[in-house]
Structure 1
Amino acid sequence: MFSTLLFLTLVAFAVFAFTRTKKKKSPISQSHWHALLLKHVAFYSRLDTENQLLFRKRMQLFLDEVYVEGVKIKLDALDYVLVAASAVIPVFGFKDWHYNNLSGVLIYPDVFNEDLQFETVSKNRRILGMVGTGQFEGQMILSKTALRQGFSNKTDKHNTAIHEFVHLIDKTDGVTDGLPERLLQHSYTLPWLNLMHEEMEAIHKNKSDLRAYGGTNKQEFFAVASEYFFERPKLLKRKHPELYKMLEDCFQTKNYAK
């Protein structure tokens, strides 16, 4: 079963590589995007009409540039919309952002393990999303269940797809280290490192409401804190004003918590 799944995965990646150099037509129509976004994406609902139109245009550009495919599942319009929205949300403050380090997104039915298996019973089948490395460089894998849940639960400060796209943003300078050099001005580097250290210490001492996974390392802290910022901005601003301000400057999303 694993060999079949790996074969399907590699075939999908081959399709990504083949289509990366071509202009791709978006797999879905925009006709129902606005209604779906209003219903499922809080970030979009907070935008004014002009910025909502811009947001949809940015989604269209993403889907034209990046191939999104289901593995042993059929995707519907909502899946494409949520993937594209997840990509646009953290870079909406940057006019000309392109995910040059991403060619394709694979959607699995549910959680999977490090061997990319999802059709087996395993204690290690816990991965919700990942950014590929090695032979899977330039690819992302997401659990459809996690993708949907990230936008359906409005109170958990957790969004797997945004988390993985933040890792990609972090990686644009060549290394995933929690220090997104393309986003942070050089003068912010030391304050950001000091703030990360303080917040991670608080997580380790169970004195923080940031998800425990954020204490794993600096890159995971950046991704977890970013999830919190985009999912529960008002709460983050109230409980962690310094962290909120730093992320607001980083993502160039002024007054987001209003």
Structure 2
Amino acid sequence: MVRSAWIFATLHPYIIMTSGTLIAFIIIALLGAGWKLFFQSDQLPPTPFPASWKAILNNKVRYYKNLPAGEQPRFEQAVLQFFEDVDITGVETELSDTYRLLVAASATIPLFGFPGWRYHNLNEVLLYENTFNHDYQTEGDERNILGMVGTGAMQRMMILSKRALHQGFDDQRSKSNVGIHEFVHLLDKADGETDGIPEILMESPYIIPWLKEMHEEINDIKDRDSDINPYGATNQAEFLSVAAEYFFSQPHLFERKHPDLFALMEKIFRQDLSG
């Protein structure tokens, strides 16, 4: 069980400004920064990527393994940058290089079509051994949560089940990946609303087609006429994340089963995953 005192000790305090001028300046800055949370920052010279880490990615992350050889170094540098930006902490569980790499890969995959973009709205990822409940407890009833993007006191944090994270990459036939799912929620949240319309990624001409396609697919799920995880019919935000984990985990199957949705998601994420 995670002690609440431990959780709150990790949070960054908010500073309240009382000067009207400063508040106005901050509001203007935030309006601009809200759309630039993931924009490219200063580029650093390439850092050597450990051979043992490359082996783990090749063995565990099919997305990385299937990249053209010339693109793998860019993926590796994005992983290293993620390690610089975000702390990964094991809560009452051991944290190996494999799990750290799986977290970083989950973050890198949905943003790979946007070179240089970074998760500036995330400070820390907490890994639990298994599932947890809405009170972040790992014991007791209703422990059915595999991953969560923090809100309120847990703002700028993410929690993932270590077991579920590993399973998402280990099962080559799975259409689910909790890591990708939660990082897509984070991208969706970047424009201020977790509503299934990731405006930070999505160009304006795609918004109406996306809404139309999304609601058609949600109706198909409700009618049991779709192989997309039924959880995707919960709301627009969950549909985006559920569809994205399927899109990145099983792109060829996704393209065959949902060609229109697949073509639209390739445009949104700026990635060519077609066969």
Q: TM-score, normalised by structure 1?
A: 0.90
Are 1:9 and 2:7 an aligned pair?
yes
SS in 1 for 2:160: strand
Aligned counterparts of 1:111 and 1:30: Cα–Cα separation in 2: 31
Aligned to 1:25: none
Structure 2 unaligned runs (5+)?
14-48
Aligned to 1:48: 68
Q: Identify, as 1 or 2, the structure richer in helix.
A: 1
C-alpha deviations, 1:108-146, integer Å up to 9, x for none?
A: 11100000000x231x11000000000111100001011
Letter in 2 for 1:231: S
Aligned to 2:23: none
Aligned counterparts of 1:30 and 1:62: Cα–Cα separation in 2: 15
SS in 1 for 2:88: strand
Are 1:121 and 2:140 an aligned pair?
yes
Matching residue within 181, 185, 205 for 1:167 = 185
Aligned counterparts of 1:218 and 1:132: Cα–Cα separation in 2: 18
Q: How does 1:1-258 map to 2 (within 5 A)?
A: 5-13=3-11, 30-118=50-138, 120-122=139-141, 124-254=142-272, 256-258=273-275
Aligned counterparts of 2:199 and 2:217: Cα–Cα separation in 1: 20
Aligned counterparts of 2:51 and 2:8: Cα–Cα separation in 1: 33
Change (3 A) 1:72 1:14: farther
Contact kept, 8 Å, 1:12 with 1:69, in 2: the verdict is no
Aligned pairs, number: 240
Change (3 A) 1:188 1:14: closer
Could you list the runs of 4 or more consecutive aligned residues of structure 1 that deviate by over 6 angstroms after TM superposition? none
Q: Kindly report the root-mean-square deviation, in angstroms, between the aligned alpha carbons of the 2 structures.
A: 1.4
Shift in Å, 1:156: 2.0
Letter in 1 for 2:70: E
SS in 2 for 1:246: helix
Contact kept, 8 Å, 2:146 with 2:178, in 1: the verdict is yes
Letter in 1 for 2:238: E
Shift in Å, 1:183: 1.2
Identity of counterpart residues, as a percentage? 44
Shift in Å, 1:221: 0.2
Rg larger in 1 or in 2?
A: 2
Structure 1 unaligned runs (5+)?
16-28
Letter in 1 for 2:110: P
